[in-house]
Amino acid sequence: MTAILGSGEYRYRVVEDWAKLPEGWELKDVAAVAVDSRDQVYVFNRGAHPMMVFDRDGNFLRSWGEGTFPRAHGLHIDADDILYCTDDGGHFVRKCTTDGRVLLEIGVPGKPAPYMSGDPFHRCTHTALSPDGDIYVSDGYGNARIHKFSPDGKLLFSWGEPGTDPGQFNIAHNIATDAQGWVYVADRENHRVQVFDAKGRYETQWVNMHRPCGLFCCRGSRPQFIIGELGPGMAVNRAMPNIGPRLSIVDGEGKLIARLGGADGPGLEAGKFVAPHGLAVDSRGDIYVGEVSYTEYPRLFPDQVVPWRMRSLQKLEKIA
């Protein structure tokens, strides 16, 4: 039986085994996903083939990046189908064409800035673009900063520090922008999304979520956002219902519109999530969910044998 998530106009059909891989290949921890103008899907993962590309029906097209990305983490695609690949293990951001040609590199691969120094980068996590093409980078594991670069990679300024107050971060895990230039940061371990203007000035925060991990802005005159929530992170709340992992859809002010999954905890069954880490939406409104299942499953189920092969990518097909 096909799993259906959501309700009303936010109903989605889970498409199982969507990605058709070459013989012997596998997806390991899909950290991020992006969709280009032709609805080709770019899957940034931590396996032997870091970037795999599929058509919207899941047919494999090509791969690239072999041996050049130590640990895939974030992926953004712009209106010209240029990809921004963030590698937290390598401490760099690469701007690439759709066939993997590097146009710009920010950061020095393998050379992190000192821990919590505020200097770029120490395990950077994701990128987003301003309406003018400036590049925002969330520097979230070994820093608590957002950096803003010019389109050619010159550092303009940075903001943020460790903590829980407005403008402070406890793992700035993801970042997005809207057409008006507002900046949205998934402040994961503070259980919130913070909103800033283009100069890094704090505006507001959304707090109706649990460990926001993935963040995607559905652009338009009235933007909506999809938030991937990691759910339970400790032994004491591992079996607690209704905290995820799940997807939440909110409006431009953070008001909840719909929730997909998560009511009865994590799992590998169709319609459940383990660790929704990367999100993308195609032209038809279908959602692609990248999961870091190989990393999170042992934490969620410490008494179970880890499956040899797990699901790291789901497609949720919007029901008209």
Domain ranges of the chain: 4-318
Average pLDDT over residues 95-113: 98
Percent of the chain with pLDDT over 70: 100
**What average pLDDT is seen over the chain?**
96
C-alpha 65/C-alpha 63 separation (Å) is 7
C-alpha 212/C-alpha 228 separation (Å) is 6
Residue 220 pLDDT greater than 80, yes or no: no
Q: Specify the higher pLDDT residue, 235 or 292.
A: 292
Instruction: Write out pLDDT tens, residues 162-206.
Output: 999 999 999 999 999 999 999 999 999 999 999 999 999 999 999
Backbone CA torsion sign across 155, 125, 10, 21: positive
C-alpha 317/C-alpha 320 separation (Å) is 9
Q: Hey, how many other C-beta atoms are within 10 angstroms of the C-beta on 200? A: 18
DSSP SS3 for 237: helix
Confidence of residue 37 (pLDDT cuts 50, 70, 90): very high
Write down the pTM of the prediction: 0.97
C-alpha 38/C-alpha 276 separation (Å) is 24
Domain 4-318, architecture per CATH: 6 Propeller (2.120)
